[in-house]
Chains A and B, each alone.
Chain A
Amino acid sequence: MSSDLLNLTLRVWRQAAPNQPGEFRDYRLNGVSTHMSFLEMLDVLNEQLIAQGEVPVAFDHDCREGICGMCSLMINGQAHGPDRGTTSCQLHMRRFRNGETITIEPWRADPFPVIRDLVVNRSAFDRIIQAGGFVSVNTGNAPDGNSVPVPGVRQEMAMDAAACIGCGACVAACKNASAMLFVSAKVSQLSILPQGQPERANRVLNMVAQMDKEGFGSCTNTSECEAACPAEVSVAHIARLNREYMKAMLFADH
């Protein structure tokens, strides 16, 4: 590689508090190693800002290995940056060119209000989970692992849905700010498995009701969410959510 160091211009959204107006601020950052992750690059930016006596850029992160779903960043108009199946924390600076301007924005959706700079409040997802994304089990002794048979394909299907890390990229990328991919992943995961059956109908009804209450948009079936999802959750789950919902709405025994 001819140049291992990048000189970049970062256009970063700065917003002091939830209901304050924000604006883009341009920062020059020189000598960025191509081996850095995107978040490490932001760390370096913040070191520089602190040294200059400026307020560092607030951004969310936790695991930095693609499993916690915290690193919600819109990078050059793409949720989690340009690569498929990748979170912002797994994105590397070798994906960018020397001299490039990188635009960094928070998720934009009214149910995800900006807390500060690039940090948004994703509690709406937590409330959707609280509305039904669980199974109720009175715990006793640990059951024998083989006492509930699940065919291999069903396990795999449930696992594909359970791969959702709740990052909100699907909402961020969707032109309607719809949360259908997230909700469908959570509904699917439990409706596919035997453990999820007792609460199956109420789960989907309550989770959709909460999703609407939070103010997310409706699904236009554009599949932009699937393309943006770092866990590569398929829109097949949205079709399953639609089936589950109608079955529960029209035929549930309650």
Chain B
Amino acid sequence: MNALLRVLSLPAVFLSKIPGLAPVVRACSTSVGQKFLMAITGLSLIGFLVVHLAGNLQLFAGEAVFNAYAEKLHSLGPLLGIAEVGLFATFAAHIGLAISTASMNKLARKSSYALKETKQGLFILPAGGASSWMMVTGLLIFGFLVIHIMDLKLKKGFGVDYTAAMNADNEAVNSFQAVKAVLSHPVHAGIYFVCLIALGIHLSHGIRSALQTLGLHHKNWNFALRTLGFVMAWGIAGGFISLIVWALGSKS
């Protein structure tokens, strides 16, 4: 456990050597600082999701439009590579902090109650609302990412037939057809659906929680911000789910 923690803290040791970053790194070693970083990485990942969804909704516009978009994206070359590295680093940081804070929380109560109730009334899910499901839904999202990258980045999805997306050299280059091939596979579509529901749950607590962690709490604004967060969470999840529905419908 200690050795693992030492390895996990290596990036922090490295970053603290960069001038100006020492106080930031020091903040990250505290519970409040770690939550702060979780909120920032979480919101950045939402930023990515919004851009990704906006791009993918062009599937509705048909093969030509979507493939033109995909090509433009790939023509960014090294820029895309840098963005991808940044995205992976953000994911790694978010997950690392999730594990760090969750283990801190577990250690804080090693023997649990025989009986535990809540005084909060309206709970969307039992036992603490969506907030009790952050690790579970987070891990589902992580599992989804692995499958998703196999499916549509490496085009090596388990049991998926990419024939329609292939060019003369048997390379799966047609993005539109590749998406259709993956989403019309019932097992893949099923996994995507379940994981996107998990994403909706994760974000319905995550956005609200991130606002509070960043100190945004004011009685004039709470209702508006929380409503917006809820709509955004399910808007993003629903937006992606609509693509699965679309693929099922256009299966010919």
CA distance A238 to B114 in the complex (A): 28
CA distance A110 to B108 in the complex (A): 5
* 13 A-B pairs with C-beta separation under 8 A: A77-B116, A175-B128, A176-B104, A218-B32, A218-B104, A219-B35, A221-B205, A221-B212, A222-B131, A238-B217, A242-B32, A245-B32, A249-B33
> Does B14 lie at the interface of the complex (its beta carbon under 8 Å from any beta carbon of A)?
no
Residue interface mask A18-32, B partner, CB < 8 A = 1: 000000100000000
Docked complex: B23-53 residues within 8 A CB-CB of A = 23-24, 26-27, 30-36
Residues of A within 8 A of B33 (CB): 245, 249
Cβ-defined partner of B31 (8 Å) among A82, A84, A212, A243: A212
Interface string of B86-105 (1 = CB under 8 A from A): 00000000000000010011
Instruction: Give bound CA distance, A224 to B105, whole Å.
Output: 15
B114, A221: Cβ atoms closer than 8 Å: no
Contacts of B112 in A (CB 8 A): 108
Are A223 and B23 in contact, with the CB atoms below 8 A? Answer: no
- The answer to whether A219 and B109 touch across the interface, beta carbons within 8 angstroms, is no
Min Cβ gap B6→A in Å is 18
Write out the residue numbers on chain A whose beta carbons fall within 8 Å of the beta carbon of B215. Answer: 239-240, 242-243, 246
Number of interface residues of B (CB under 8 A): 44
User: What's the count of A-B pairs with C-beta under 8 Å?
Assistant: 136
Known contacts A77-B113, A250-B23, A235 near B212 by CB under 8 Å: yes
Nearest-Cβ distance from residue B15 to partner chain A, whole angstroms: 15
Known: A78-B119, A220-B131, A239-B215. 14 other contacts (CB 8 A): A24-B114, A175-B128, A176-B104, A178-B105, A215-B107, A219-B32, A221-B213, A236-B217, A236-B219, A238-B212, A239-B217, A242-B212, A245-B36, A246-B32
Residues of B within 8 Å of A217, CB to CB, are 31, 101, 104-105, 107-109
Q: Which residues of B contact A121 (CB under 8 A)?
A: none
Secondary structure call for the A interface: mixed
* A218 with B31: CB separation less than 8 A: yes
Give chain B nearest CB distance to A3 CB in angstroms: 25
- CA–CA, A216 and B216, complex, Å: 23
Instruction: Out of B108, B132, B213, B214, name the residue touching A109 (CB < 8 Å).
Output: B108
Is B252 on the interface with A (CB-CB < 8 A)?
A: no
B114 contacts across to A, CB distance below 8 A:
11, 13, 24, 103, 105
In the complex, whether B250 has a CB less than 8 A from a CB of chain A is no
A220 touching B134, Cβ below 8 Å: yes
Cβ 8 A contact of A239, one of B24, B120, B131, B212: B212
CA–CA, A242 to B209, complex, Å?
Answer: 12
- Residues in B with CB closer than 8 Å to A178 are 31, 105, 108
B208 contacts the other chain (CB 8 A): yes
A218 touching B35, Cβ below 8 Å: yes
A249 with B213: CB separation less than 8 A: no
Residues of A within 8 A of B128 (CB): 175, 222, 224
